[in-house]
A and B are shown apart, each in its own frame.
Chain A
């Protein structure tokens, strides 16, 4: 069974909670997806509105593991402070560590990521690093104390799927025992199925469900695709080949003549 830092989960879908049409649809989508881990963030709160308090109640009702993120942080210091605040706020040592390098691609700053991961792991955090498919960075992250890797499929919110399946395969082969979560860029259930078929352990996505015309139905679609992809991986997917290979027996072909 898949586990993250000793916590076992049945579901291989980690779900973001942002951009849903309403809190009610968010709750229904999480339930339909059967996700057991949801991501959340921390943001400035206006004292007069205190809208975070209602969101906290809603998340508690879902009875799922909470994975806070450091979304938007651009420096090691910002990410570390945000993680410390998240640990107190959400009462969990889990942190989805994001240190962002570029506003347009939202790609991780791998140097800052490794540095922040090292500081946080030493301080008792259980770090889920949002990284690229870079093998060298992955090695550094594990050496820094991470026990999960979360390479991007494509830039956050881009819905492009798996930009570099070759590199994801390499990561899978190189780290057979590290939970590998494709985080970001998943646009369709087929992208998620592909990640699971390749042997990735799980996917983390938000926009593809939240921005669907019917998020609850899309959550169900992703749950099905992820389950199918995992079963296919366990069953053993055929390697592609260049030439055709008849599936119907050749022996006994009618009207067959040796030329």
Chain B
């Protein structure tokens, strides 16, 4: 009988309290969003299930939890703590990205830069709220709307905040269809939303596509060497794709490799949200600041596009500024759908993807800049 009672005391049912139940509820919510609503399922499904697994209470000292040495989850979490998974994800992203729209319309790159302004506004807000500089920088990068970049920078500057920051970054990426449209509508007129982008696009030669990743990696990484772990693999992946001589490698990078990294990244980030570590007032503040960061990033992209239109002969649709955040391809798709809603013959997807690609580069540079500002 004593043995039975001892066993009962070690079960999750006995050890659970309201915090674990709440977190498991959040995990189920994420899984539901992924399956029922199809919101970023590639991310929310592994994260959601990871949250459920990470919040099953257990007897400490058995080497089971993600924060306990020698546990399996702890070893899998290594790729998050060291920034390994984000680098691998960037390799795959590069092998999947088509830069031809961006090369045909280089001015769209500025929208990717403008949308990063949300990061710096949020940096100031986080500092004002009492976060330490390294924590504030990690929170600010949520404004880049790039999950792997957020995880990478947080792993380097404030590893104790990886859980809330990663969950906030991925949640807001999944909530693009809810967050971005009202901001875009608020900041643009109907006339502006009806602006058509040219259907004919300059033909980009293969040589241009080949020269771009080489030129870009040199230019960006010389400017912000701390972004090498992200931009190095990113442009390498792209060079593999456009070179056409290593199709097998490019296909593996854009399928098996990125998929494996995404599975482990999502699952372990989810599992890192153990209620006793995750449920703190700081996490709530991070979620609020994340929303501010994402909204400001969207707004700054749209406003910058409007400013550009003051000087451009061929106006650009200012909604494209919202695609300057690096949530690939969610924000480009959202901008395209909004454009279609206003005028079904308005096709913005290719241009949105160009802004998205620029946003990925921009947020990686910002991560490098913030890391170098706060190193040491």
Are chains A and B native binding partners rather than an unrelated pairing?
no
A residues apposed to B, CB below 8 Å: none
B residues apposed to A, CB below 8 Å: none
